Structure 1
Amino acid sequence: MKDDNYKIACVKKDSKVVACAGFRILETLSWGKALYIDDLITDEMSRNRGHASHLITWLQEEAKRLPCKQLHLDSGFARINAHRFYQNSGFHIRSLHFSMEL
């Protein structure tokens, strides 16, 4: 994934990683230049403590610095709590993502 410019940002507490985000900068015809969040993970015992919110804020600032116009991510259909968090963080549901096994 390094070849695709994949990077990881993390939050540490007491020298332990409690949350991390994997992301890339993409440029597409429909989005222009955007920061795409591939992964956003919080340790189960560390949830609901603001770590993911801290990462989202950092990712917003990083996207502006680069300079991107948008943040994007996909989320599994059944992850209702994650969807609520993303919407509370300012994300909007803009599309459905389709895939096909080959």
Structure 2
Amino acid sequence: MDYNFKILNKTEILKVVPLVEALNDFNVPKAILNIRFLEMAEQNYECAVICNNNTIIGVCGLWFCTRHYAGKTVEVDHVYIEENHRGKGLGKQFFKWIYNYVKTKACNTVELNTYVANYPSHKFYYNEGFEILGYHFLKKL
């Protein structure tokens, strides 16, 4: 298989919505996802993708900011790889590419959230050297 990693052009951002829909545990309608991704693309957000023969088969959001406890950081968001491409070391390759990419943007740290029940992701992130620092809370207004 011929895989490559890249930052998706902002004008193509809606191409990732079908993959994010598969990860969508909050059941956000596609129309709202489209609106939100268009808005995100205008913020401190970039979208990294995995392509297989020019077809997007994996996605990861990158939120850039500076935090008092971490310095310049990137928060990795909505990581998803299509199921038939999993178990091939692709996630590890993708994260290696992400680490190298965010270093070029002067990031000191990488942060992320993962769902409590997503045990396979916990194992993956532990193996990548991530540590649990706290809990992520959400309150809808």
Are the aligned partners of 1:21 and 1:55 in contact in 2 as well (CA < 8 Å)? no
Alignment: residue pair count: 102
Higher strand share: 1
Q: Which has the larger radius of gyration?
A: 2
- Find the aligned partners of 2:124 and 2:93 in 1 and give their Cα distance: 12
Match for residue 89 of structure 1?
128
Q: In structure 1, what residue type is equivalent to 2:100?
A: E
Q: Does 1:75 align with 2:107?
A: no
After the TM superposition, which parts of structure 1 deviate over 4 Å for at least 4 consecutive aligned residues?
A: none
- Find the aligned partners of 1:59 and 1:37 in 2 and give their Cα distance: 9
- Find the aligned partners of 1:14 and 1:68 in 2 and give their Cα distance: 30
Match for residue 40 of structure 1?
79
How far residue 29 of structure 1 moved from its aligned partner, in angstroms, is 1.5
Q: So what's the TM-score if we normalise by structure 2?
A: 0.67
Q: Counterparts of 1:52-63 in structure 2 under 5 Å?
A: 52-63=91-102
- Find the aligned partners of 1:15 and 1:33 in 2 and give their Cα distance: 32
Higher helix share: 2
How far residue 100 of structure 1 moved from its aligned partner, in angstroms, is 1.2
- Find the aligned partners of 1:23 and 1:83 in 2 and give their Cα distance: 19
> SS state of the match for residue 42, structure 2?
helix
Deviations 1:22-70 (A, max 9, x none): 1121112222110111121100111111221111111111221111110
Q: So what's the TM-score if we normalise by structure 1?
A: 0.90
CA RMSD of aligned residues (A): 1.3
Match for residue 10 of structure 1?
49
**Structure 2: stretches of 5+ with no match in the other structure:** 1-39
Are the aligned partners of 1:40 and 1:52 in contact in 2 as well (CA < 8 Å)? no
Q: In structure 2, what residue type is equivalent to 1:51?
A: L
Are the aligned partners of 1:20 and 1:55 in contact in 2 as well (CA < 8 Å)? no
How far residue 5 of structure 1 moved from its aligned partner, in angstroms, is 2.5
> SS state of the match for residue 33, structure 1?
strand
Q: Percent identity?
A: 25
Are the aligned partners of 1:7 and 1:22 in contact in 2 as well (CA < 8 Å)? yes
